[in-house]
Structure 1
Amino acid sequence: MGDNHTRSVTYRTARTADGTTVVTLRGELDILAVPALSAALDALTAGAEPDLIFDLRPVSFVDCTGLGILCRARNRVRARHGRLRLVVPGGAVLRLFRQTGLAGAFEFCGPLAADSAAVSLR
C-alpha cells in the first residue's frame, strides 16, 4: 500500500475487492495536514461516482480545518453522485461530529474487517 505524509497526518489508500477506496488517516487532522491532504482527497473525489470510506480510527485529533476538509470531500462526492462513509472511533472524534451538528451530514459505518481483500492503489 502507498504511504503518504503531510506534516501531521499520514494516510494510506487501498481498494477493496468491490472497488471501494479506503483512505486510512492516522495522526492529527489539523491545519498542518490540510494543504497536502486536500490535493490528495480532491484527486480521489474527482471521478464519476466515487465510492470512499475514510477510516478515522487512528486519528488522535481533529480541528475545524480537519472537519472542513472532510466536509469538502463529502460535498465533492455528493456532487458526483458517489458515496462517502466514515469509520470513527468512539470518544472524542465521535463527540466532535455530534457537538458540531455534523453527525447527520455523514454516513457512518462499522469497523472495517481486518481481513478484507484490499489492493494497493499505488
Structure 2
Amino acid sequence: MYEVQSGSSSEDPGHTGGKTAVVRLHGEIDLLAVQALGPRLDALTSGPRPDLVLDLRPVSFLDCSGLGLLCRVRNRVLARGGRLRLVVDGTRVLRVLRHARLAGAFDIHPGVPEDVFPASGPDSAAAAG
C-alpha cells in the first residue's frame, strides 16, 4: 500500500534536520486505505518542520476520503512550518484534484524533486514500511 524512503534535502536544511520523507502510495486510496495510512502519515508530520513528499504516481484510484487525507496531511505540515510536495505524473490523480478544486492547494511535481535524492535517485534508497 505504501513505502517510506528517506532522502536529504539540501534546499532547506531546517526542515526536519535536512531529511525528507518520501512516501510512495500504491493502488487505491479509499476509506480502507486511509484508515491504515492515516496514523503513519500523522507520525511523519508530527514533528517540527516536516518535509514530506507523497509520490502518487502508482495510485490507481483516489476517492473523497483520500482527498481528505491529503488535505489533513497538508494542514498538519503547514501548521508545523513544514513542506509537502505531491508527485503526480498522470492525469488520473491530477484530474481528481482539479475537479475538487484542490490542485492549486498543493505543490505538485511530475517526479521526485531533485533536491531529495540529488546523487543516486529514489530507486536506490532503502525502502521501509
TM-score normalised to structure 2 length = 0.81
* Match status 1:15 vs 2:20: no
Q: CA RMSD in A?
A: 1.8
% same residue? 54
Give the structure with the higher percent strand.
1
For the Cα contact (< 8 Å) 2:89–2:109, is it kept in 1? no
Find the counterpart in structure 2 of residue 51 from structure 1.
51
CA distance in 1, matches of 2:89, 2:110: 9
Alpha-carbon distance in structure 2 between the residues aligned to 1:56 and 1:120: 16
1-side partners of 2:80 and 2:128: how far apart?
Answer: 20
- Taking the aligned partners of 1:38 and 1:17, their CA distance within structure 2 comes to 24
The structure with more helix, counted as a fraction of residues: 2
Contact 1:84–1:107, Cα closer than 8 Å, also in 2: yes
8 Å contact 1:16–1:116 — kept in the other structure?
no
2:66 counterpart residue number: 66
Aligned partner letter, 2:6? R
Q: How does 1:81-120 map to 2 (within 5 A)?
A: 81-112=81-112, 115-116=120-121, 118-120=125-127
Q: How big is the shift at 1:120?
A: 4.3
Secondary structure of the equivalent of 1:33? helix
Q: Check the 8 A contact 2:89/2:110 in 1, yes or no.
A: no
- Aligned partner of 1:40 in structure 2 is 40
- With normalisation by structure 1, the TM-score equals 0.85
Q: Partners of 2:21 and 2:50 in 1: how far apart?
A: 8
SS at match of 2:35: helix
CA contact (8 A) 1:56 1:87 kept: yes
1:33 alignment partner AA = A
1:36 offset after TM fit, Å?
Answer: 1.4
Q: How many residue pairs get matched?
A: 113
